[in-house]
Structure 1
Amino acid sequence: MHAADRVSTRHPVSDRLIDLLGDLASLDAPDEAATAAPQLLERLAEDGGAAACQLDTALTHADDLQAPAFQTVASVGYSPEVSSHLRAELAPSPHGRRVLAATGGLRIDEDDPFHFRGSDHYREVLHPAGYDDGISIALRDPGARLVGLLHLSARSTRDFAPELVGALAPLGRAFARLTTVATCSSPDVTLPPEYAAVRLDAAGRATPVVGRAPLHAALDTELLGIVRSILGSGTRFATFLHQQAGRLVEVRVHCPSGRAATHQPCTVATRPAASTLGLTLRQLEVLTAVATGAGNREIADELCLTQRTVAAHVEAILARLDTPSRAGAAAKATAAGVLLPSADPESVRSLARVLGRPVT
């Protein structure tokens, strides 16, 4: 393998590659990015002289950052066996670690300074499949976080277009951006790596998100009811806590349109609850009701408590959150995403009431 960023860049980038870069830059929605990836890889292969291309995303929930796991976004030209090998076995190997450490990608060429042709990857997988040259690029976001790998393979060392090498750096950045968009990791979606995520269509059907773990909670009737109350409020982002099967989960909902309609596409993400601001589950229920503007009597009636007990909970909440008012406590809880809402729109713990708009 050869350090591709050391190769001369005297060859100008072709108009077709420039067009490809422009199309990569125009992708803004996760579904759009994931759907367009195979066609974009086909264009990259055709314009760059590659017989096969593959885009893998680093799994954002992988536990071992030193040995990242990958999921294939799109693969063009590779057999299932070669595709699986590139996704699962190359990165943890010594040659894979060289790829991850390189700033501009590594290439097999005639010189082969790292003796890649002597490796099991080449002798047992790539060469029998008919490939004699290849380029692998570690894709990183602007913060230098690994987001994926891009592989290109050619039948011979003469097949790669000369201008391809000069375009590797911008291509790497463009495909890194496509990967972050497809995984819902782009800035407009604001989902940190530790979140699992799915996309819901207007009917509430869930589609897995590339590079994301399965949700930490089942999308049952109660959770979907809360999600729909958020969509009906016209709020683009909302974070809350949800208890299911004896554990507390933090849930984020992102509605790209920002319009008020209970049935529309959105992204739902979860992670184990990181904080409750030091409050008990009962106190979180009381605080959620306080955030809707409910009085002690309403709260007591719904939670089957006495008004005196509710008042004691409210006093303890104000002390814990170091605020003198119910409004201040509600604001802190909403900002921290620790409300524990009910799916019932008539409940004093309805998130629609917290958000202050009626469900449509």
Structure 2
Amino acid sequence: MRTDPPVAQLLEIAASAVPLLERARGLVETLDGWLAADAIWLTLSDPGSKVYATVGSTGLEQPVLDYLGRQAVARETQLAGLHRNRPPVSVTELPVPMEELPTWADCLIPTGFREGLGVPILEPRGPYLGMLSLLFASGEPPSGALRDRLGQLAPLIARGISPMRSMLATARLVQGATSGVVLLRDGTSYTLPGLDDHPLLAADSLAVEIARRTLVAGQEYRSFLWPADGDSGTTGHARLTVLTATDVPAFVLGTVLVTPEADCRGLTPRELEVLGLLVEGRSNQQIARRLTIALRTVAAHVEHILHKMDVPTRTLAAVRAEREGCHVPPPPRPRSRR
């Protein structure tokens, strides 16, 4: 093993704009040139399918990688506590002998490995990402120096394989956005690093639920307005931009970004609500029932909307509103229970 890890090279890879999997492979190849390990396994944890997805490896044949991708391996790792923030841990330090761990007894020991060092990888102030595993043919315990160095490098490796970092690069394309969260398929969300918190991005926010349903439905982009304090009677609105995830693991849905103090063609709060129902294809009668207002009031709102949107028909108004994100969508109805 070399005296010093190639930190500068790892930093360059982690900060690069290349796709996530390419960054992960670069990190593993760089570590392989520094470490004396016989195999390296870098993974991302998928909370939806409850498996570890390999994003980089050296020294492991495909049958071994296929075995390590099983749900049973992920369960065994969690039982060993390797999914929590902790220093690197040797397999010989676990409370269960390695001969009694199925992953080792059935796969790794027959393959020729006698020692291993696991390093949990966590997003700063965010979710558990996965694990870096070093495997050794020798049964010699890993040195304290190796453990310390890997513990110091873990945040750098997390930066390199962070789905949030990829999402943050996309978020910067939305002009004026000051807040944002990443939505995961398991229903959780995490604030994008470097952006502010916002009440509209709370876990129980109706606006976030609209965004989540948008992404689950496969829509790649959506923009809409929402009352800034959650009260439809106010005049202040924020713009929410929903973007699907790209170059990230499948358990990441996408991002929701907030641009404060958005305005749209001088439409009033009530007109924005009516326009949102027009986007959904509702008739005047349905809008009147939904908003509990008179039918003639709906007709007046629609007339004002057409004038302000500079379109001749309600259909064109809906198309333009959807394209410009110039409407307040109706709150989502509760999901049906089976």
How high is the TM-score relative to the length of structure 1? Answer: 0.51
- The residue matched to 1:98 in structure 2 has which SS? coil
Q: State the match for 2:207 in structure 1.
A: none
User: 2 CA distance for matches of 1:343 and 1:32?
Assistant: 40
**8 A contact 1:61–1:195 mirrored in 2:** yes
Structure 1 distance, partners of 2:186, 2:315, is: 22
- Equivalent positions of 1:164-179 (< 5 A) are 164-179=146-161
Deviation string, structure 1 residues 48-72 (Cα, Å, up to 9, x no partner): 111221221121445xxxxx43222
Given candidates 34, 37, 42, the residue that maps to 2:29 is: 42
Q: Is the 8 A contact 1:217 1:270 kept in 2?
A: no
Whether 1:192 aligns to 2:183 is yes
State the SS of the aligned residue for 1:312: helix
Unaligned runs of 5+ in 1: 1-10, 63-67, 197-214, 231-237, 242-249, 257-266, 272-285, 293-298, 318-325, 331-341, 356-360
**Cross-structure match for 1:136:** 118
Question: What is the SS of the residue equivalent to 2:80?
Answer: helix
Alpha-carbon offset, residue 120 of structure 1 = 3.1
Is the 1:195–1:269 Cα contact (8 Å) retained in structure 2? no
Shift of 1:311: 7.7
Using the alignment, how far apart are the partners of 1:255 and 1:98 within structure 2? 29
How far off is 1:36 after superposition?
A: 1.9
Q: CA deviation at 1:254?
A: 6.4
Q: 2:288 aligns with which of 290, 293, 312?
A: 312
In 2 relative to 1, CA 107–311 (structure 1 residues): closer, same or farther, beyond 3 Å?
Answer: closer
Which residue in the other structure is 1:200 paired with? none
**1:269-280 equivalence runs, <5 A:** 269=254
Q: Is the 8 A contact 2:42 2:54 kept in 1?
A: yes
> For 1:192, what is the secondary structure of its paired residue?
strand
C-alpha offsets along residues 288-328 of structure 1, whole Å, 9 cap, x if unaligned?
A: 66379xxxxxx69x95845xx488369548xxxxxxxx8xx
Alignment CA distance shift 1:252-1:51 (3 Å):
same
Is the alpha carbon distance of 1:96 and 1:78 closer, same or farther for their aligned partners in structure 2, counting shifts above 3 Å?
farther
2-side partners of 1:114 and 1:33: how far apart? Answer: 34
Query: How far, CA to CA, are the matches of 2:64 and 2:137 in structure 1?
Result: 14
How much does 1:138 deviate?
Answer: 2.0
User: CA 1:21/1:351 → structure 2, altered by over 3 Å: closer, same or farther?
Assistant: same
1:155 — aligned with what? 137
Partner of 2:58: 76
Tell me what 1:17 maps to: 6
Structure 2 unmatched runs, 5+ = 172-180, 188-214, 227-239, 247-251, 257-270, 294-300, 306-313, 328-338
Counterpart in 1 of 2:275?
290
The amino acid of 1:312's aligned partner reads: A
Q: Is the 8 A contact 1:49 1:159 kept in 2?
A: no
Contact 1:58 1:147 in 2 (8 A): yes
Residue 252 of structure 1 contacts residue 268 of structure 1 at CA under 8 Å; is this kept in 2?
no
Q: TM-score, normalised by structure 2?
A: 0.54
User: Deviations for 1:142-169, whole angstroms, at most 9, x for unmatched residues?
Assistant: 2363211211112224596874322121
Structure 2: distance between partners of 1:122 and 1:32: 32
Displacement after TM superposition at 1:343 (Å): 11
Query: How far, CA to CA, are the matches of 1:107 and 1:180 in structure 2?
Result: 24
Alpha-carbon distance in structure 1 between the residues aligned to 2:152 and 2:315: 47
State the one-letter code of the partner of 2:156. A
Query: Do 1:51 and 1:152's aligned partners in 2 also have CA atoms closer than 8 Å?
Result: yes
Q: Partner of 1:55: helix, strand, or coil?
A: strand
**Is contact 1:95-1:116 (8 Å) kept?**
no
Aligned to 1:351: 323
**Number of the residue aligned with 2:243:** 253
Matched to 1:26, the amino acid is A
Q: Aligned equivalents of 1:169 and 1:100: distance in 2?
A: 14
Following superposition, the deviation at residue 127 of structure 1 comes to 1.9
1:217 is the counterpart of 2:217: yes
Deviations 1:233-264 (A, max 9, x none): xxxxx4689xxxxxxxx9822699xxxxxxxx
**Alpha-carbon distance in structure 2 between the residues aligned to 1:102 and 1:315:** 49
**In structure 2, the residue corresponding to 1:104 is in which secondary structure?**
coil
Q: 1:33: which partner in 2?
A: 20
Tell me the distance in 1 between the aligned counterparts of 2:168 and 2:186: 13
What is the rounded CA distance, in whole Å, between the counterparts of 1:54 and 1:86 in structure 2? 9
The residue type paired with residue 71 of structure 1 is A
